[in-house]
Amino acid sequence: MAANRNLKQVRIENSSPAAPLGMVGGGGGGGNLKGLRGLEAESEAAAAAMALAPSKEGGGDEEQEVGFTIDIKSFLKPGEKSYTQRCRLFVGNLPTDITEEDFKRLFERYGEPSEVFINRDRGFGFIRLESRTLAEIAKAELDGTILKSRPLRIRFATHGAALTVKNLSPVVSNELLEQAFSQFGPVERAVVVVDDRGRATGKGFVEFAAKPPARKALERCSDGAFLLTTTPRPVVVEPMEQFDDEDGLPEKLMQKTQQYHKEREQPPRFAQPGTFEFEYASRWKALDEMEKQQREQVDRNIREAKEKLEAEMEAARHEHQLMLMRQDLMRRQEELRRLEELRNQELQKRKQIQLRHEEEHRRREEEMLRQREQEELRRQQEGGFKPNFMDNREQEMRMGDMGPRGAINMGDAFSPAPAGNQGPPPMMGMNMNNRGTLPGPAMGPGPSMGPEGAANMGTPMMPDNGTVLFFHNN
């Protein structure tokens, strides 16, 4: 094997004189290795990818080995992942003294492996190559090869992390299936199985990179309802049944037991009518026909039940949508009612605030009007009774002049009584000169009269309520 840092190359040699198409025949040395037996049937892509290279150089007696160079990257299909479980080979009937270096050297022409396991006690091992095509080439090349007097038995290892997915919708693709199951762990491959016309069969399989994600997906999908599309149609997940539909059971792997030799005594044949073989063969065929009819009836019943369930599901979906629409309408109506209540409450608050403002404005106007009226009344009182105020001041001043007995001198201050005629003080509000009206001794000369002959009445008296009192003579 020749390799560099950027390009892995494989040099596969063939010593058979009749090489298949795409291989160079002839060549002297290197007869110990077996060529690609049946490579055309195993992998057409591998045969088409092989490139020829000159294998012989002139000028010498010794012939060079004949072979060709293959780029490993060309064996990867578009979108194919490398070093998956599908690239894992089981190698049986190994010598018990084989080492890991010898085991890896056996597969070194097919690229760098990522996993190597050997059980020397039981004589088997596992190896994982880069691509499925390389694994197919290695299987076709090395299966049956004699190693230390033991023929190697090479098969594809069982994929322990593969799941079968049923009840898939017709709109589910490989990409959607991989995307859906990637939430449980890394997915190596997801395929929706189709018929010969490319129509989905409702089944598929998912291959995980390890067993823990596969167990998790199996448990979650078994306990719950895993939906891939809008329709509430859950997928059914089961462990994938492993079948070897490539190699089958060759004669060389048959166990030569007593039952084997007994059954092989008779060659293949048709049973003759009327014989013992024909009678029981007919009964076997009738049993198989009954099984077929019952399976068809079960399939028909299941199909009718699925159609009925789909119709009920569609009707229930419409009813559910109508219920959601009604609930949404009721919610909107309730929201509108609540908004209307909030609006009415806001209007009531604004109206109350406006009424309070108007009431306050009215009270302020009434207060201002009351103050103006009081001010006007006070001004009227001050302007209409100013002389009375002066008379009151004069009365107060006169009331300060009292006699020795506390009597008020009511006479005219400018016409005092004669000193020789000291009579009793005159009575308040009465004419002291009219001696005939009041009995008693003479009171002496009365006050002087004015120019018009009116008696001097003295200072008029005014009580607190502003009424002026005058005393007249009878």
Highest mean predicted confidence (pLDDT) among 28-32, 230-234, 380-384, 450-454: 230-234
Count how many residues are written for the chain.
474
Cβ contacts of 319 within 8 Å, gap of 6 or more: none
| Amino acid at site 152 | L
CA 90 to chain centre: 46
Q: Please give the average per-residue pLDDT across 213-240, as a whole number.
A: 93
Q: What is the pLDDT of residues 128-168, one digit of tens each?
A: 998 998 999 999 989 988 988 889 999 999 888 999 999 99
Would you place residue 245 in the very low, low, confident or very high pLDDT band (cuts 50, 70, 90)? Answer: confident
Cα–Cα distance for residue pair 278/331, rounded to 1 Å:
77
pLDDT at site 334: 94
Whose structure tokens read 């499925």? 132
| Amino acid at site 258 | Q
CA 89 to chain centre: 44
Q: What is the pLDDT of residues 388-439, one digit of tens each?
A: 545 555 556 655 554 444 444 444 444 444 444 444 444 444 444 444 444 4
Whose structure tokens read 């996993």? 115
**CA atoms within 13 A of residue 289's CA, in its CB half-sphere:** 6
Cα–Cα distance for residue pair 207/186, rounded to 1 Å:
9
Structure token pair of residue 440: 């008693």
**CA atoms within 13 A of residue 284's CA, in its CB half-sphere:** 7
**Shortest CA distance to 140 belongs to which of 13, 253, 43?**
43
pLDDT at site 77: 78
Cβ contacts of 112 within 8 Å, gap of 6 or more: 8, 130
How many CB atoms are closer than 10 A to CB 39? Answer: 22
pLDDT at site 231: 86
Q: What is the pLDDT of residues 40-76, one digit of tens each?
A: 334 444 443 443 333 333 434 444 444 555 565 667 7
**Strand (E) positions, 221-371?**
236-239
Percent of the chain with pLDDT over 90: 41
